[in-house]
Structure 1
Amino acid sequence: MNQFATYPSLAGRRVFITGGASGIGAALVTAFSAQGAVVGHVDLDAPSAAALAERLAGSGLPAPWFRALDVTDTAALQGAITDFAAAAGGLDVLINNVANDSRHDPLDTGEAQWRSLMAVNLDCCFFAAQAAIRLMLAGGGSIINFSSINALLGPAGMPAYVAAKAAIVGLTKALARQYGSDGIRVNAVLPGWVVTDRQLELWLTPEAEAQWTEQVALKQRILPEDVANLALFLAADDSRMITSQSFVIDGGRV
């Protein structure tokens, strides 16, 4: 039976997560709550967020701070980060998790669709980080940006997602360099094919999973909890000298 780490430094730490209602985001909310962190998150899906809060309460954990919003609304997103920090007494950790990996044909992609996909996959990552850095300048913090191994592999059929996830790696390095002297660490997480309800519903067919399994070294599913465990480490003091790095968690695919 697997036994995972407890990080004393995360107790009471103020953590804000984008896209926290389901999938990897829900695993992040759950994992940080279990560590004793004060957690806030945003998502469009208010019913899933309510169900998550109910599950946490059933486990004896406090309900996280939540606000339903569209992360492409920069004013609303930055306002939520500021309001959470005011309610929690500060901000220590930002996790830019939200994304949209919709498939689209490059030749059929119009300007509006392209800009919409970049807004949710890249722009909100920058603007959330901007708001968080302003709050972290006095005391430092950890920003964890979610990229993807698709930034390295460049699969067909999702050029906006691939471009955005590659840009996040560069953004991570730029912010880490600029704000390291302020005690702000910035790292990126590059997951492989994580088994979430969305992936199972849309793309992870038995045939696709069999092909994926042939390509990886570890012949097991990557679960949202596996990714959350990496984020815990990057938020904790155990990783205090790690910044500007990109961590692949894909079972040995790349």
Structure 2
Amino acid sequence: MTERFADQTVLITGAGSGIGAASARRFAREGANVVLVGRTRDKLDRVAADLPDPERVMIRPADVSKADEANALVEDVVSRFGGLDVLFNNAGVATQGRIPDTDDATWRQVMAINADGVFYCCRAALPHLIARGGNIVNTSSVSALGGDWGMSVYNASKAAVANFTRALALDHGRDGVRVNAVCPGLTRTEMGGANFEDEAVYPKFQERIPLGRGAEPEEVADVVAFLASYEARFVNGVNLPVDGGLMASNGQPPQT
């Protein structure tokens, strides 16, 4: 495999599982220094054990929903590796329930992790990304592009990420920094994995997804790596669905 990210440093939040862990493996295979960020050290250790070169791996537990921790995280990364080339904001949490059943703490938690964390990490990282001509990839969701039943809080948080991505792309393109987002659909992660095992639910997803299945984390990680790479050098401000064609539909059910 071509080492597209040789001598580059990639910071990945939410790196302990799912899309974050798969992306860590992908970037590491392509020569990057990989910074694994999450709130649970044990998960990060397990991901790090699967990467090819321990000298190019930094394990850094942090809660990026807190501004001071995001600031310290970025400074530690720059101190260790001399700069920062790619920020992948992937940390996220989901919740279900309609608004009358949602308390203040749930709203605040989802927005803090999904939206505040992206803001804090981008703000801390941008001076270093500008210095290196780096880029940002955010994890938004198809739930930012259309609503879900019973997931209004999650929808709001991911829509914030999607439009924040567009605005940052406008503000910092002439600084030499690209900003894009992936918008996964159903993916086999801790967040979405139960749907794969639910014999009542998964067929409903299969019916709606033109490719007939949900995604594996590696399939999203491949798109993240593309957006972060030189090959995507003229791609900026994009919220790219990685959903097997789900968003291509107008919502009507299959007729055959």
Q: Does TM, normalized by the shorter one, top 0.5?
A: yes
Match of 1:61 among 53, 65, 75: 53
- Maintained 8 Å contact 1:41/1:65: yes
1:1-254 equivalences under 5 Å are 6-56=1-51, 60-62=52-54, 64-201=57-194, 204-254=197-247
**Amino acid aligned to 2:227:** L
- Maintained 8 Å contact 2:187/2:193: no
Q: Which runs of 5+ in 2 are unaligned?
A: 248-256
- 1:3: which partner in 2? none
Deviation at 1:9, TM superposition (A): 3.2
Length, aligned pairs only: 246
Tell me the TM-score normalised to structure 1 length. 0.91
- Maintained 8 Å contact 2:71/2:121: yes
Residue aligned with 1:187, SS:
strand
Comparing 98-107 and 88-97, the one that deviates more: 98-107
Residue aligned with 1:248, SS:
strand
- Maintained 8 Å contact 1:34/1:61: no
Deviation at 1:212, TM superposition (A): 0.5
**In 2, Cα distance between the equivalents of 1:148 and 1:24?**
12
**In 2, Cα distance between the equivalents of 1:37 and 1:17?**
12
Tell me the TM-score normalised to structure 2 length. 0.91
**In 1, Cα distance between the equivalents of 2:8 and 2:104?**
41
Deviation at 1:241, TM superposition (A): 0.9
Is the alpha carbon distance of 1:221 and 1:113 closer, same or farther for their aligned partners in structure 2, counting shifts above 3 Å?
closer
Residue aligned with 2:241, SS:
strand
**Amino acid aligned to 1:46:** R
Residue aligned with 1:65, SS:
strand
The alignment's C-alpha RMSD in Å is 1.6
Deviation at 1:7, TM superposition (A): 4.6
Q: Deviations over 1:220-250 (max 9, x none)?
A: 3310000000011111111111101111110
Residue aligned with 2:201, SS:
helix
**In 2, Cα distance between the equivalents of 1:239 and 1:51?**
30
Comparing 185-194 and 110-119, the one that deviates more: 110-119
**In 2, Cα distance between the equivalents of 1:202 and 1:66?**
30
**In 2, Cα distance between the equivalents of 1:127 and 1:7?**
32
Comparing 92-101 and 138-147, the one that deviates more: 138-147
- 2:253: which partner in 1? none
Residue aligned with 1:9, SS:
coil
Deviation at 1:47, TM superposition (A): 1.0
Q: Which runs of 5+ in 1 are unaligned?
A: 1-5
Deviation at 1:80, TM superposition (A): 0.7
